[in-house]
């Protein structure tokens, strides 16, 4: 039976070493290393003795040595195929990172942010992930042409997507909000007000979130027997909302309702309406999408569809950690969270 000494490392001799842990625990150095670093072939008795020696001596394991034994980096990548300026200006990404770091903090894991813009940056990111510099990857704000779901599935890296991928969705897990239902409900708010000429500013045509929201608007308009020709696309930024609103109102000046696929684009649309002297909601009612801290500060405050970004990020991260820990991932999980309508003065 291994015996544990209660003697501490003498003062002034520096940090305790692995050899001292092994000596105090009464086991070999190799056994102590495996016990500390989570390796195999360690008896329960030896594990207990080493654990006690670690606590007694105040030993701090060497992360590099631990990585060699466990083949873990203790880090998770958040992959964002977007330009830098979008990541640092859009509240969607701030909410996502808050949710991710909250979960990683519980496990003392490190977050690695990878901005994988199209082209050479994406190739470099894939090389980094293929080399297993991280234990898993959470991918958010992906586009049709990046094909990250298929590529990550091919290399076998544990991954979860925030949002439904365009392709490869049958091979990877993802967490999404029901965007079609959310935009359908947003449109129904305007229909209930009596709006008869409702346009929409949709998101980028190469993103599933935008496509699903546009489908929800079309469903509600089709059910009401109203035309679906008043459509302009933006890229989820405020300036794109300005451009889209100007183009839309120039083509359809008779609009009395506007459904916008993000609150930032809705802010841009509200600027244009104010410039044109169109009162909101008296002349034209407006509904946004996101509710991430922007909608309540607009003039007037914006009716919007709330997607719980932090909750989605937390669930996606926990799902990813299950896969990193070896939970069966052969049947990809698809978790769809319902959105919530938040009523304010703009509609």
Three-state secondary structure of the chain: CCCCCCCCCCCCCCCCCHHHHHHHHCCCHHHHHHHHCCCCCCCHHHHHHHHHHHHHHCCCCCHHHHHHHHCCCCEEEEEECCCHHHHCCCHHHHHHHHHHHHHHHHCCCEEEEEECCCCHHHHHHHHHHHCCCCCEEEEECCCHHHCHHHHHHHHCCCEEEECCCCCCCCCCEEEEECHHHHHHHHHHHHHHHCCCCEEEEECCCCCHHHHHHHHHHHHHHHHCCCCCCCEEECCCCHHHHHHHHHHHHHHCCCCCEEEECCHHHHHHHHHHHHHHCCCCCCCCEEEEEECCCCHHHCCCCCEEEECCHHHHHHHHHHHHHHHHCCCCCCCCCEEEECCEEECCCCC
Q: How far apart are CA 73 and CA 68, in angstroms?
A: 9
Q: How far apart are CA 236 and CA 290, in angstroms?
A: 11
Q: pLDDT 10s digit of each residue in the chain, 347 long?
A: 343 333 444 444 467 888 999 999 999 988 888 888 765 678 888 888 988 999 899 888 765 555 545 567 899 999 998 887 788 889 999 999 999 999 999 988 999 999 887 666 788 898 999 999 999 999 999 888 888 899 999 999 999 999 999 988 889 999 999 999 999 999 999 999 999 999 999 999 999 999 999 999 999 999 999 999 999 999 999 999 999 999 999 999 999 999 999 999 999 999 999 999 999 999 999 999 999 999 999 999 999 999 999 999 999 999 999 999 887 666 789 999 999 999 999 99
| Three-point CA angle 326, 136, 81, nearest 5° | 150
Q: How far apart are CA 289 and CA 207, in angstroms?
A: 15
The pLDDT assigned to 40 comes to: 60
Q: How far apart are CA 85 and CA 238, in angstroms?
A: 13
Structural domains in the chain, CATH included, are 18-70 (1.10.260.40), 75-177+310-338 (3.40.50.2300), 179-307 (3.40.50.2300)
Contact of 295 with 322, CB cutoff 8 Å = no
Task: Please name the residue that has the structure tokens 């060699």.
Answer: 68
The pLDDT assigned to 1 comes to: 39
Q: How far apart are CA 134 and CA 123, in angstroms?
A: 16
Instruction: Count CB atoms within 10 A of the CB of residue 2.
Output: 17
Cβ neighbours of residue 67 under 8 Å, at least 6 residues apart? 73, 74
Cβ neighbours of residue 286 under 8 Å, at least 6 residues apart? 257, 258, 260, 266, 269, 270, 273, 280, 302, 303, 346, 347
Q: How far apart are CA 293 and CA 128, in angstroms?
A: 34
The pLDDT assigned to 39 comes to: 56
Among 247, 175, 243, which Cα is nearest to 208's? 175
Beta bridge partners of 334: 174
Burial state string for 205-230 with b = 16 or more CB within 10 A and e = fewer than 16: eebbbbbbbbebbbbbbeeeebeeeb
The pLDDT assigned to 12 comes to: 42
Helix axes 263-276, 238-251, angle to 10 degrees: 50
pTM for the structure as a whole: 0.80
Tokens for 95, please give them: 């909410």
Tokens for 191, please give them: 């229909």
């Amino acid at each position: 039976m291994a015996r544990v000494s209660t003697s501490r490392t003498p003062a002034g001799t520096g940090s305790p070493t692995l050899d001292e842990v092994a000596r105090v625990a009464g086991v070999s150095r190799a056994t102590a290393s495996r016990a500390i670093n989570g390796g195999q072939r360690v008896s329960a008795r030896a594990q207990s003795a080493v654990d006690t020696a670690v606590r007694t001596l105040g030993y701090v394991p060497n992360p590099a040595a631990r990585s060699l034994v466990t083949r873990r980096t203790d880090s998770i990548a958040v992959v964002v195929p977007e330009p830098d300026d979008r990541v640092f200006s859009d509240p969607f990404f701030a909410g996502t990172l808050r949710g991710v770091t909250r979960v990683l903090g519980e496990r003392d894991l490190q977050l690695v942010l990878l901005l994988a813009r199209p082209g050479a940056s994406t190739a470099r990111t894939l090389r980094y992930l293929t080399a297993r510099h991280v234990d898993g990857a959470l991918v958010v704000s992906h586009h049709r042409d990046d094909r990250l779901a298929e590529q990550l599935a091919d290399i076998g890296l544990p991954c979860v997507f925030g949002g439904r991928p365009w392709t490869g969705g049958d091979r990877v897990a993802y967490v999404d909000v029901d965007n079609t239902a959310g935009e359908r409900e947003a449109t129904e708010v305007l229909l209930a007000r009596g709006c008869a000429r409702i346009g929409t500013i949709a998101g980028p045509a190469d993103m599933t979130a935008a496509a699903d929201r546009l489908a929800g608007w079309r469903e509600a308009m089709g059910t009401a027997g109203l035309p679906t020709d008043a459509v302009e696309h933006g890229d989820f930024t405020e300036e794109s909302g300005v451009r889209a609103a100007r183009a839309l109102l120039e083509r359809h000046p008779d609009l009395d309702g506007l459904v916008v696929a993000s609150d930032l684009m809705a802010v841009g649309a509200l600027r244009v309406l104010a410039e044109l002297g169109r009162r909101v909601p008296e002349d034209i009612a407006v509904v946004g999408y996101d509710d991430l801290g922007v909608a309540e500060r607009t003039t007037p405050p914006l009716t919007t569809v709330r997607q719980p970004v932090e909750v989605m990020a937390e669930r996606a991260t926990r799902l990813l950690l299950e896969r990193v820990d070896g939970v069966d991932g052969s049947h990809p999980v698809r978790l769809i969270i319902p959105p919530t309508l938040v009523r304010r003065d703009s509609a």
